[in-house]
Structure 1
Amino acid sequence: MIKALVAGRKHSNQEIAGLINRARGDATNDINSGRISNIKNGQIKKYFATPAASAAELDQFMENVRPLALGDDGPLSPARLTKLLPVKLGLPNSLAITETDQIECKKSVNFIMKTIAAFCNNKGGYFVFGVENGTFNIIGLSDDKFEKYDLNKLNQNIRDQLGIGLDIYTKIHIINGKKLGIVYVAPAHTKPVITIHNTGDMAQGHIYYRYPGEDRLISPTDLQRLIEQRVQQLSQTILSKHLTNIMRFGVENAAVINLATGEIDGKAGSFLIDEALLPQISFLKDGEFVEQSGAPTLKLGLGLITSS
């Protein structure tokens, strides 16, 4: 599918990564734009023989992963934006809003990395360009700077400063003939997002979080909640993988090994591996074993076990 998306030349590497990650739905297995570049340039040998998806397969894929932000009920849908940015009664050039934990207004196009970091660590948020901060008067954008803004450069800056790729969507929104530039920053797939450099008003190793009207260091309570969500997400991913393998192998053929005690328990019964042998056990990823001359091998011989 990646080869088909690359060949279509309609999406940047960052956009392709976002589409693939959305389809996978597994934050622990996200692909980055660097891997897209490697596949595009033929630098990964195991993908050489993999053909590109057909046009029909690509169309079906795009339908399945249609960006949530652009959907009929997504964050950038007309209905959502109308509700998000209501006009004051009797004052058609002023919005009836305040800056919340999801809205940041700017008179002109100006992305603040600290705000991006804060948005993605919370539930996502919107930059609204063309609205004066504080008064929330609709100024509008008079030039085409917003349309011409290089999102690839923004995505690269995000990776350089936050070390992660984010889903970012843009849209022009018209209110009473005035053009607003709307940018939606989606929540990060994996939280918390931590700054990796000292730059501007951000410090290396800090976690910023969006609170009503401000971006600041995350509170202990919110950090604890993010950590608990991360652990739960990882646990669900691991459990799902194990259940998938059990169903693939068959319950009668599956067993669980306790690496602390050496006990292997399955439907057919249980047995123990001598604790002295446990430190010698290594696990190899399927298909990635490379034999090395002289490398130690642990051989387990299973025979009839009788009780005395």
Structure 2
Amino acid sequence: MKPTFTFELDRRNYVKRRESFDLEYKQSFQGGDNLLKYAKTLVGMANNKGGQIIFGIKDSPHLPIGILSRRWHETDPKKIDRIIREYFSQEIQWTAEILEFDGKDFGQITVLEAENKPLICKKNKDGLLREGAIYYRYRAETKEIEYSELRTVLDKENEKERLMWMQHIQKIAQIGPQNVSLFDTYKGEISVGNGRILLDKSIVDKLNFIKKGKFVESDEEGLPTLRLIGDIEGLVEPSVVMESDKLFPLLSTDLKERLELNSYEIQCIISKLKIKENNKYHTEISLGKKSQIHKYSEALIPLIERMLLRPDFMKECREEYGKKQKEKIKTTRSKKRK
């Protein structure tokens, strides 16, 4: 069932609400270079406070006529997603859906405010986009950002970072620098010297304050460890801890099942995309001197799915991985001969 939507109309049945910094109307949804224009508008809104584009509103005056062609239904949202990733510095959070009003269908694309600003255009495109440009949504218009708005965006980003540093510095001052080890709340890891400890979800759930802890010089493998004794209460605020299982919940076997690929194909793709070099998609957990577990984030699934839409992608992955394996074997044999 389609979500219902209500436009506030005047006595002539025109839409009352005007276009603004967070709203744009389009009479129809079109392909080609128009997809670049939509992406530009979405990025401009994300650089401001977010917003939406509604398709099916006639221009001058704004009359709700609905989507009349099939192009909206026939266009894969992944195509817009690819354009955004190709032309802009980072991904944005957006959704597309069909809304119903007065028996008519309307397209809606909604974008959230970007967490990290500004988003920057990465390359030129036929006079539509300019490399290095920062697009910003003004009242009923998306254009390159002006000085005052750019200054505001940068000041807010600097303030966010300043506040985070102040919080960390205050905590370090309370504990004493000599007693501080680094706790990565993003991955749920503690760095102790050259070692690394991954906190399991069962431990993270109890992290209120450390009641009693004892540092041990090394475990059986010679790696620095931290022994946690008794209930854990009081030093770390649990609301800021992101469980490692949530960030990197997937093993290679999970990737196989979710993507319906075999082990070799997964290895080929991971090698091709250099996934193990990207900490957004991958983390490595050491179990000992020579044993590691590779885990992957949920964000990797849609990335691979998008890449698999390319007709020759899997073939390229197999060929490149095959060449690397042959070179590796050749190098190993050469070393043995020496």
TM-score w.r.t. the length of structure 1 is: 0.51
User: Paired residue for 1:159?
Assistant: 85
- The residue aligned with 2:19 is 99
What is aligned with 1:128?
54
Task: Give the deviation of 1:226 after TM superposition.
Answer: 0.4
Taking the aligned partners of 1:226 and 1:99, their CA distance within structure 2 comes to: 22
Larger relative contact order (Cα-Cα within 8 Å, sequence gap ≥ 6): 1
Report the CA distance shift for 1:206/1:144 in structure 2 as closer, same or farther (over 3 A): same
Partner SS, residue 24 of structure 2? strand
CA distance in 2, matches of 1:231, 1:285: 31
Q: Tell me what 1:109 maps to.
A: 29
| Aligned: 1:86 with 2:12 | no
1:154 counterpart SS class: helix
The change in CA–CA distance for 1:98 and 1:285 in structure 2 (over 3 A counts) is farther
Match of 2:140 in 1: 213
TM superposition shift of 1:174:
1.7
- In the other structure, the counterpart of 1:69 is none
Structure 2 residue aligned with 1:231? 158
- Superposed, which structure 2 residues align to 1:219-258 within 5 Å? 219-241=146-168, 250-251=175-176, 254=179
1:190 to 112, 116, 121: 116
**1:56-78 Cα distance to aligned partner (Å, 9 max, x none):** xxxxxxxxxxxxxxxxxxxxx96
Residues 254 and 203 of structure 1: CA distance in aligned 2, closer, same or farther (over 3 Å)? same
Deviation string, structure 1 residues 64-105 (Cα, Å, up to 9, x no partner): xxxxxxxxxxxxx96xx64xx4222x333x311222111111
Deviation at 1:199, TM superposition (A): 1.1
Q: Is the 8 A contact 2:172 2:180 kept in 1?
A: no
- The reply to whether residue 137 of structure 1 matches residue 58 of structure 2 is no
Who is 2:334 aligned against?
A: none
Measured at CA, do residues 252 and 163 of structure 1 come closer, stay the same or move farther in structure 2, by a change above 3 Å? closer
Maintained 8 Å contact 2:28/2:68: no
Q: Does 1:179 align with 2:143?
A: no
Q: Helix, strand or coil: the match of 1:184? A: strand
SS of 1:134's equivalent in the other structure is coil
Q: Does structure 2 retain, via aligned residues, the 8 Å contact 1:141–1:179?
A: yes
Shift of 1:147: 3.8
Which range moves more in the overlay, 234-243 or 158-167?
A: 234-243
- Which residue of structure 2 lines up, in the alignment, with residue 35 of structure 1? none
The whole-number CA distance in structure 1 between the counterparts of 2:193 and 2:58 is: 58
Task: Report the Cα offset of residue 238 of structure 1.
Answer: 3.5
Does the residue aligned with 2:121 lie in a helix, a strand or coil?
Answer: coil
CA distance in 2, matches of 1:232, 1:130: 40
Describe the shift of the 1:245–1:114 C-alpha distance in structure 2 as closer, same or farther (beyond 3 A): same
RMSD over aligned Cα, in angstroms? 3.1
The structure-2 alpha-carbon separation of the partners of 1:102 and 1:253, relative to structure 1 and needing over 3 Å to count, comes to same
Relative to 1, partners in 2 of residues 1:231 and 1:144: Cα closer, same or farther, differing over 3 Å?
Answer: same
* Counterpart residue type for residue 135 of structure 1: P
In 2, Cα distance between the equivalents of 1:174 and 1:285? Answer: 58
Once the two structures are TM-superposed, the CA of residue 127 in structure 1 deviates from its matched residue by 0.7
CA–CA distance in structure 2, aligned partners of residues 222 and 209 of structure 1: 8
Check the 8 A contact 1:246/1:254 in 2, yes or no.
no
Once the two structures are superposed, residues 217-270 of structure 1 have per-residue CA deviations (whole angstroms, 9 ceiling, x without a partner) of 2121111110011111222333445566778xx4585479xxxxxxxxxxxxxx
Q: Match of 1:173, SS?
A: strand
Query: 1-side partners of 2:12 and 2:194: how far apart?
Result: 64
Aligned length: 178
Work out the CA distance in 1 between the residues paired with 2:193 and 2:124: 39
Question: Aligned partners of 2:101, 2:78: CA distance in 1, in Å?
Answer: 28
Deviation at 1:287, TM superposition (A): 3.7
Question: Partner of 1:9 in structure 2?
Answer: none
Change (3 A) 1:176 1:191: same
Unaligned runs of 5+ in 1: 1-76, 257-282, 289-308
CA distance in 2, matches of 1:285, 1:138: 63
